[in-house]
Amino acid sequence: MISFYLDVFLLAASPFIGSFITASSRSWPDWIRIASGRSSCDACGRRLSPLELIPVVSFLVQRGKCRSCGAPVSWIHPAGELLALLAGILAVLAFDGGWTFAAAMFGWILLFGALVDIRTFLLPDVVTLGLIPAGLGVSYLAGGLEAVSLNGLAALIGFASLAVISAVYKRLRGRDGLGLGDAKLLAAGGAWAGPFALPWIVMLGAGATLFIVAIGHVLGRKATADTAVPLGPGLAAGCYLAYCLPSLVQPLT
For the CB of residue 59, give the shortest distance to Zn ion in the complex, in Å. Answer: 14
Closer to Zn ion at the Cβ: 66 or 162?
66
Task: Give the binding-site size for Zn ion (rule: CB under 5 A).
Answer: 7
> Interface with Zn ion by CB under 5 A: which range of 34-42, 102-110, 178-186, 196-204?
34-42
Question: Does 69 engage in binding with Zn ion (CB under 5 A)?
Answer: yes
Is 80 in contact with 71 (CB distance < 8 Å)? no
d(CA 101, CA 80): 19
SS3 at position 208: helix
Which DSSP state fits 48? P
Closer to Zn ion at the Cβ: 33 or 223?
33
Closer to Zn ion at the Cβ: 44 or 164?
44
Question: Does 43 engage in binding with Zn ion (CB under 5 A)?
Answer: yes
Which of 3, 49, 68, 227 contacts Zn ion by CB under 5 A?
Answer: 68
Amino acid occupying residue 164: V
For the CB of residue 37, give the shortest distance to Zn ion in the complex, in Å. Answer: 16
- Closest of 193, 217, 223, 222 to residue 205, by C-alpha: 193
Is 68 in contact with 41 (CB distance < 8 Å)? yes
- Closest of 81, 26, 91 to residue 56, by C-alpha: 81
Question: Does 155 engage in binding with Zn ion (CB under 5 A)?
Answer: no
For the CB of residue 71, give the shortest distance to Zn ion in the complex, in Å. Answer: 5
Which of 30, 36, 40, 44 contacts Zn ion by CB under 5 A?
Answer: 44
Cβ neighbour number for residue 60 with a 10 Å cutoff: 10
Closer to Zn ion at the Cβ: 66 or 202?
66
For the CB of residue 110, give the shortest distance to Zn ion in the complex, in Å. Answer: 30
d(CA 73, CA 116): 17
d(CA 99, CA 34): 27
Question: Does 66 engage in binding with Zn ion (CB under 5 A)?
Answer: yes
Closer to Zn ion at the Cβ: 12 or 44?
44
Which DSSP state fits 47? B
> Interface with Zn ion by CB under 5 A: which range of 64-72, 86-94, 143-151, 217-225?
64-72
For the CB of residue 70, give the shortest distance to Zn ion in the complex, in Å. Answer: 7
Percent composition of the chain: helix, strand, coil (DSSP 3-state, to 5): 75, 0, 25
Closer to Zn ion at the Cβ: 44 or 215?
44
Beta bridge partners of 65: 72
d(CA 209, CA 232): 9
Question: Does 72 engage in binding with Zn ion (CB under 5 A)?
Answer: no
Binding residues vs Zn ion (CB under 5 A): 41, 43-44, 66, 68-69, 71
